[in-house]
Amino acid sequence: MDPKKSDTNVKAAADVLMAQANEAAAIFTQYDQEQVDKIVAAAAKAGAAQRLELAHLAVEETGMGIFEDKVIKNLFATEYIYNDIRDIKTVGLIHDCPATGLMEYAEPLGVVLGITPITNPTSTVMFKSLIALKTRNAIVFCASRNALKCSNEAARIIYEAAVAAGAPDYVIRWVEEPSREMTQALMTHPNVALILATGGTGLVQAAYGSGKPAIGVGPGNVPVYIDKSADIPMAVNDILLSKTFDNGMICASEQAIVVHRDIRQAVEDRLVSQGAYFLKPSEVAVIQDIVIDPAKQSMSSKVVGKSAQYIAELAGIKVPPQTRLLLARLADVGETVPLSREKLCPLLGYYVAANLDEAINICTNLTHFGGLGHSVSIFSRDQQAIDKFSRTLNAGRILVNSPSALGGIGDIYNRLHPSLTLGCGTGGCNITTDNVTVTHLLNIKRVSKRMVNMKWFRVPSKIYFEPGCLDVFFTHEIKDLGAKRALIVCSGSAVREGTTDRVAAYLKAAGIQSSVFSDVKSDPTVETITAGVAVLNKEKPDLIIALGGGSPIDAAKAMWLMYEHPEFSFDDLRLRFMDIRKRIVKLPPLGQKARFIAIPTTSGTGSEVTAFTVVTDSKAGKKYPIADYAITPDIAIIDPNLVLTVPPTVTADTGLDVLSHAMESYVSTVASDYTDPLALRAIQLVFEYLPQAFLNGGNALAREKMHNASTIAGMAFTNAFLGINHCLAHILGATFHIPHGRANAFVMIPVIRYNAALPHKFPPSPNYPSPKAKDRYAEIAAVLKLDTSTPEKGVENLVRAMAELKKTLGVPASLRAAGVPEADFKAKLRFMAEVAFDDQCAGANPSYPLVDDLIKVLEEAYG
């Protein structure tokens, strides 16, 4: 025939098959689960009913295998497969998990191209048909040329039963006139959604090379190791059963026995007694060229699925009449040892290993020589040997104490999914190591509902407040702690003011030994922490008392952390994170060695209740912000008597820090009902009492209210976090040596304006569904009893109130007014903005800041 014409005919035939199948697949999409299940049940029943006829046909046509075993395979492909898939949901909503908000819907693939082998012709066709029907896919079969009649008959039986049960017309199609060209035309046909290829290496590679999605599974070269702990009669029985089943044509059947030297004789005796025949070396030399085609370097089709007797005869070897299995003693694995290859007939290689390790290595060699990723088998009663074997060998199925052929196809000897298409993973150039089943023939559509991150609220378990609470605590409550040894961490000023002595005296009275680490200066350094940790390690206290402003408390928290968990490095701890609960470096809880009491002597940082600390690396010029709930103090003592002598500028600066904590946590993307009242109350207290405390430091009520405001704001922001106000303040402070609270005040007004405007970029936060900073600022204004007739007015009036407060506190209106040199500021502007952008605090800001946005805010703050 004219080759061109032949090509056209082939293409036309492929087009017809594919058009029909495509139409069927389209119609099939309308079916519900009940209809599908009815079809699959009918198809399985029809296939099982024809098991004998199909087995006869297969043996007759292929001249391979054993009728009785093919009957089992046909039943397996229908009964076992059906039993496995009958209750699986494959239509519509197949999984629904309210806890994760994930729903899975099944979408059919469309048209599946089924390539089927000569070795298991009818069973593979029925298996693939059933899994295609169950998943509402149409399937077109391209069977092995030498098993065409029986394969197509199997397809026809399933198809007719399916259509009678209501399946779409043409849902199963088959190639009547196979050819290489036809296979190629089908594999590359636009209508093919997936190629499901079972067969020889060449065909499977062609499937993968077609450019279509493919599940192609190829050859194995299954070693079976008989460990010295094995149940020998069982091992021998199973290997004989498996390797003679359908004359060894299942690709998961054993190809070589590797036996432990200690039981060698017993195994050999048993093998011989059960009908195995050990080939003599001269016989091996003859038979290897019969079994393995020397030209092709692969098994000869002459022996596939033939009996041991037949093969021996073919090689001119006389074997005892009861011989069921041939064994060839082999010394090595590789091309020079042909029988170390896969041989789908009752002939096994036979190796003796000195120990488990050597056995595993022989198995590794065998799988690497052919069939990597397919299956391996072990007979052992030693779990450690089984573990080592399983850890080392690369095989999709590692079968323990069972016949590998019947074990590999699943469900008979184990609970693997029953399948006649066994994935070999990338070792076999496959996409999966699974036993292929319905789950591989579906597109899973995942419906993901919006989920919010769980929020939390954590503060110290005890907070003591009101004037004199320090004395009450240390004269009464301290005893309940049962502490024996305390370290007081403080600054020089606390020592000078006598507070340290007072606390030490109380401790002594309570029977607690104490020592003092007072070498903490402003912005505690790594060196300070290291020195402090050395003291902790020496003194081994079970109580740490941090006494002072933000710096001693921050230092003590870091010391506490390193005391309890010396394995952590500052570098690990400062690693930037998006979500405090998903961070890479996780801190275990503290408190195994010591509990922690924080006693603030300024009203600003809130460190006595927060999960934050900052450590400075003076050599590298870096700051390590450490954030973790583990470092939240156990007890905070908020005694306003300790802040009566704070000088006015410090009062103003620390008070403005309180205000920025409260403001930022109120507009934060993770603000909650738990933090909002705290933030609002702190803001009210600051506006009312900070000017009084600043103007008259002796105003005890104002001092007390500001001391409370500081801790209350701390409780808000340790849970709701901060925003760009702090990001900018951190870098401004570091660059121009501006006190932290004051630096916050300089940027506060431009930050409010920026956050209240429509964000240029929205923060990626599921808990924050739409911008609301403007309204939140207006709510703050309302609490301050300002005019909030519109949100815009509220924001503007809040800005005005802020400006007034700054003025009252003697804080310059701008950085320019504060004397920051313009040239210097401009030169450092972008750098500062970039550092601020990467600051840990930026994450919860209501507007995700662009670097250019931060530049504008800084410019506005400069004035």
Partner 1 sequence: MTVALSASTVNPRINILALSGRLSVETEGQIQPQLMEAIKQSPHGLVFDLEAVAFVSSAGLRMLIVVYKSAATSGTKLAMIRPPPEIYKLFKLAALDLTFNVFENEAEAVKAICP
Q: Look at the block and give the residue holding tokens 């008979």.
A: 412
- Give 136 or 557: the residue with its C-beta nearer to partner 1: 136
Residue 177 per-residue DSSP state: S
- Give 165 or 352: the residue with its C-beta nearer to partner 1: 165
- For partner 1, which residue of 17, 18, 25, 597 counts as binding (CB under 8 A)? 25
Distance in Å, CB of 196 to partner 1, minimum: 20
Distance in Å, CB of 47 to partner 1, minimum: 22
What is residue 545's three-state secondary structure? strand
- Give 23 or 859: the residue with its C-beta nearer to partner 1: 23
Do 700 and 709 contact (CB within 8 A), yes or no? no
Out of 97, 142, 150, 251, the active site residue is 251
* Whole-angstrom distance, CA of residue 260 vs CA of residue 700: 88
Binding region for partner 1 (CB under 8 A) out of 22-30, 267-275, 395-403, 578-586:
22-30
Do 196 and 128 contact (CB within 8 A), yes or no? yes
Using the rule CB under 8 A, is 27 a contact of partner 1? yes
- Give 139 or 611: the residue with its C-beta nearer to partner 1: 139
Q: What is the largest CA-CA distance in the chain?
A: 116
The type of residue at 37 is D
Burial class (CB in 10 A: 0-12, 13-18, 19+), 514: buried
Using the rule CB under 8 A, is 225 a contact of partner 1? no
Distance in Å, CB of 34 to partner 1, minimum: 13
Using the rule CB under 8 A, is 29 a contact of partner 1? yes
Binding region for partner 1 (CB under 8 A) out of 26-34, 154-162, 610-618, 634-642:
26-34
Residue 758 per-residue DSSP state: P
Using the rule CB under 8 A, is 170 a contact of partner 1? yes
Using the rule CB under 8 A, is 26 a contact of partner 1? yes
Using the rule CB under 8 A, is 443 a contact of partner 1? no
DSSP of 557-625: HHHHHHHH-TT--HHHHT---S-TTT-SS-PPPS-SS-EEEEEESSSS--TTT-SEEEEEETTTTEEEE
Can 251 be counted among the known catalytic residues?
yes
The closest alpha carbon to 608, from 507, 463, 458, 457, belongs to 463
- Give 24 or 818: the residue with its C-beta nearer to partner 1: 24
Using the rule CB under 8 A, is 24 a contact of partner 1? yes
* Whole-angstrom distance, CA of residue 480 vs CA of residue 8: 94
- For partner 1, which residue of 60, 169, 176, 501 counts as binding (CB under 8 A)? 169
* Whole-angstrom distance, CA of residue 251 vs CA of residue 152: 22
Using the rule CB under 8 A, is 314 a contact of partner 1? no
Using the rule CB under 8 A, is 23 a contact of partner 1? yes
- Give 26 or 481: the residue with its C-beta nearer to partner 1: 26
Site residues for partner 1, window 570-629 (CB under 8 A)?
Answer: none
* Whole-angstrom distance, CA of residue 454 vs CA of residue 771: 20
Using the rule CB under 8 A, is 168 a contact of partner 1? yes
Site residues for partner 1, window 78-137 (CB under 8 A)?
Answer: 110
Do 241 and 290 contact (CB within 8 A), yes or no? no
* Whole-angstrom distance, CA of residue 136 vs CA of residue 616: 64
Binding region for partner 1 (CB under 8 A) out of 18-26, 634-642, 714-722, 822-830:
18-26
Using the rule CB under 8 A, is 282 a contact of partner 1? no
Binding region for partner 1 (CB under 8 A) out of 24-32, 634-642, 808-816, 819-827:
24-32
- For partner 1, which residue of 13, 22, 403, 680 counts as binding (CB under 8 A)? 22
The type of residue at 678 is L
Binding region for partner 1 (CB under 8 A) out of 17-25, 37-45, 246-254, 688-696:
17-25
Ramachandran sector of residue 810 (left: φ over 0; alpha: ψ -120 to 50; beta: rest):
left
Tokens of 789: 């007739």
- Give 90 or 198: the residue with its C-beta nearer to partner 1: 90
- Give 22 or 394: the residue with its C-beta nearer to partner 1: 22
CA 259 vs CA 280, 358, 365: distances in Å = 18, 10, 15
Q: Which parts of this chain interact with partner 1 (CB under 8 A)?
A: 22-27, 29-30, 110, 168-170
> Which residues are identified as catalytic?
251
